[in-house]
Structure 1
Amino acid sequence: MAELKRVYLDNAATSWPKPESVYRAVDEYQRHLGCSPGRSVYRDASRADQTVADARHRVARLWDAEDPQHLIFTFNGSDALNLAIRGALRPGDHAVTTAADHNSVLRPLRFLEDAQGVRVTRVPCDAAGHVRIDAFAQALLPKTRLVAVNHASNVTGTLQDVPRLVEIVRRQAPDALFLVDAAQSLGHLPLSVREWGVDLAAAPGHKGLLGPMGTGVLYIRPGVEERIAPLRLGGTGSQSDEDRQPAILPDKYEPGNHNASGLAGLAAGTAWLEERTPAALRSHELTLIAALLEGLRGIPGLTLYGPDDPLERVGVVSFRLESFDPHELAGLLDLRFGIQVRSGIHCAPRMHAAIGTLELGGTVRISTGPFNTLEDVEYVAAALRELSRAP
């Protein structure tokens, strides 16, 4: 039997393929550079320093950050979120999050709730995945210290109105830090942390930024670093005569060796995005979303979740097909058609509760990337139509 064409539609988990420049940058660093950044003055060490600096400047520019030194490298999105959440909260503090959020936010907050008496309010979402604004406003207290909001859901693709939520927080809880999880939006559409007015923003490097796994970023608004305690301490190559962690950024939060080859790939991925522009990539994504939603809507027994309007979501589409378990359906799509998608709860149990799929085993999730085509989404719609007719 001929081997099936691979149709990869699991970009919300990690983007694939990467631009060729990403593979070349990682290989070049590993084969021909290979030394530790920030540890010496010989020429190749200086080139390693420049590699990390280039990645930092590129991501900061893409995010419209005020100062590249306030862009902290972590090892994934969860690592960045843990630094923000656990670095900001103290025993007895109050925090607010939402039903749209991922376990990378929910679990650190639950840990702090159990271990340190942090009080957490979890704001519900409507059936389309939008945060309920009335409940959000009611959740805020004068003593709220952290608000964590998911920008784009990894289940429904739903985009939250971050500027509106920031405005409510500034008015009702002026001492609270606002943290946005941009795991599913950074690299997919034009974003500006300055226009948002947020204090903290986190994302992985291996999804929309098209970098390798093992990379992540945390934006810290200038001045906010005074309120964020580091989680890891150690050597930085700076102020090495002191046994206290440097207070300067980014060294305060970046002990030990960087994933330098990963950051070389991240710089290349971000350069690819800059060249094509987030606006153009968003236009391509919207074309795919519209075609996918249109193709799935007419399939008998198929239920779609999330907003109807493509402008209200990123390229993440969840659905269920009557009489199929999500894992069974995902397995059939791979086995019979070579279509690779994700199934289950997607590490976001409260969102599944909001849309009514938690007790049903979750959904099947299609997530597009910049290398997907209209042919890909038409193919998956045709495959699902065929499966829907199966006895």
Structure 2
Amino acid sequence: MRVIYLDNAASTWPKPPAVKENMAEVIEHFAANPGRGGHALAMKASKAVFRTRVELSRLFGIQNPNDLFFYMNATQALNQAIKGLLKEGDHVVSSSIEHNSVRRPLEYMARTKKVELTFVEPREDQLYYAEDFERAMKPNTRLLAVSHASNLTGVILPIAELGDLAKQNQVLFLVDASQTAGVLPIHVGEMKIDMLAFPGHKGLYGPQGTGGLYVHPSVDLEPLIHGGTGSQSEAIDQPTTRPDRYESGTANTVGLAGLQAGVSFVLEKGVENIHAYEWKLTKQTIKGLRQIKGVEVYGPGEEVERVGVISFNIEGVDASEASFILDQQYGIATRAGYHCTPLGHRTAGTEQRGAVRASFGVFNTEQDVEALLNAVREIASAFQSS
């Protein structure tokens, strides 16, 4: 039975063939230590890492590739941004859909540094508006930190408007692009984004263990990790030059070479085209699910554009059981539970039961959608008649 993979919000799969090819080339021909030697293989490894920096800068409108720092994932990048910036007495405005990768570092800073937190709620239409974030601002607000889109309902926040708001209030702007990097257009200059955290293994189609953080050149963060950087080795303190200041230890050259291929794939297809295709599948799914008796779909309807993430429940069926049946009996991979976003589930009204989540990538098809709808229809019918 062919696996229908609908868990792309967690990690996209399959990957473009060039991802594997790039990674294999590094392993076979120049898996030396980048930035740690002057010999030919080390220089070749360094160039491979830099090429990835350049491709990502093209994608996100970053002027200087050295303002982009590599981490294992968006979680590490967000921890660097939040813990490296905030001081005692600061206030942060965020949203009520945040993933734990944003919320937990913020809560840690609230507990250890007495940082104040405000989480803005959506309106009755389940959407977020810049003026509500503006009302949450205080004289000591230091940071506006939000997800670009919800990993539970796919709701998209008005990032460009929030960027303007942050600048008007002289507040730094941090965006978690875990669900939107490679899926929605992002330009850090035009959107006035000071810090952008992103994973490599989702919409950028790279391997797991890759991600990064863009930091505007005017923003200085306290490094989260201290150690060897291959530069200024005689100094006892962390280097001041970028990206070395924020990249201690040996880089994941193999993974970053794979990420470069993934980003090139996204640039070639076009972010707008990717989103349009995923939105087409998403609308088809939302419309179909809402026609099945006993199925509840969360988030706005198909008339409101979102990323390719849909969460739902089937009456009388535990979310985990429904996901298990989809996997074992129908070969459809979804994710059930709380999706690392208790804030999001509280906002959606599912904090007591969780939900089943289906999420799309560019390799999914309309046939995949129909297979999901047929499976959910059969499961709902079986439990309603039992």
Matched, 1:369 2:361: yes
Cα separation, 1, equivalents of 2:108 and 2:20: 37
- Map Cα deviations across residues 125-176 of structure 1 (whole Å, 9 max, x no partner): 24654235454222111221111011110000000001112222333x31x2
Pairwise CA distance, 1:291: 1.3
Superposition pairs for residues 56-135 of structure 1, below 5 Å? 56-126=53-123, 129-131=126-128, 133-135=130-132
Contact 1:80 1:217 in 2 (8 A): yes
1:355 pairs, out of 348, 351, 369, with 348
Contact 1:64 1:193 in 2 (8 A): yes
Unaligned 5+ segments in structure 2 are none
Cα separation, 1, equivalents of 2:13 and 2:206: 10
CA pair 46-129 structure 1, distance change in 2 beyond 3 A: farther
Superposition pairs for residues 117-266 of structure 1, below 5 Å? 117-126=114-123, 129-131=126-128, 133-171=130-168, 173-174=169-170, 176-224=171-219, 226=220, 228-266=221-259
1:279 pairs, out of 260, 272, 275, with 272
Bigger mean CA offset, 151-160 vs 274-283: 274-283
Q: What's the TM-score, normalizing by structure 1?
A: 0.95
Cα separation, 2, equivalents of 1:297 and 1:123: 28
Pairwise CA distance, 1:120: 1.1
CA pair 127-12 structure 1, distance change in 2 beyond 3 A: farther
Unaligned 5+ segments in structure 1 are none
1:331 pairs, out of 324, 329, 346, with 324
Instruction: Indicate the residue corresponding to 2:370 in structure 1.
Output: 378
Cα separation, 2, equivalents of 1:297 and 1:133: 30
Query: Percent sequence identity over matched residues?
Result: 43
Cα separation, 2, equivalents of 1:140 and 1:112: 18
Bigger mean CA offset, 177-186 vs 32-41: 32-41
Matched, 1:12 2:4: no
The one-letter code of the counterpart of 1:52 is V
Pairwise CA distance, 1:259: 0.8
Pairwise CA distance, 1:94: 1.1
SS in 2 for 1:193: coil
Contact 2:199 2:212 in 1 (8 A): yes
Q: What's the TM-score, normalizing by structure 2?
A: 0.96
Instruction: Indicate the residue corresponding to 1:26 in structure 2.
Output: 23
CA-based RMSD:
1.3
SS in 2 for 1:57: helix
Q: How many residues get paired?
A: 383
SS in 1 for 2:190: helix
- Map Cα deviations across residues 269-304 of structure 1 (whole Å, 9 max, x no partner): 111111111122122112111211122120001111
2:381 pairs, out of 361, 378, 389, with 389
SS in 1 for 2:313: strand
1:54 pairs, out of 51, 55, 59, with 51
Pairwise CA distance, 1:311: 5.4
Deviating beyond 3 angstroms after TM superposition, the runs of 4 or more aligned structure 1 residues are 126-129, 132-135
Contact 2:18 2:261 in 1 (8 A): yes
Cα separation, 2, equivalents of 1:26 and 1:130: 40
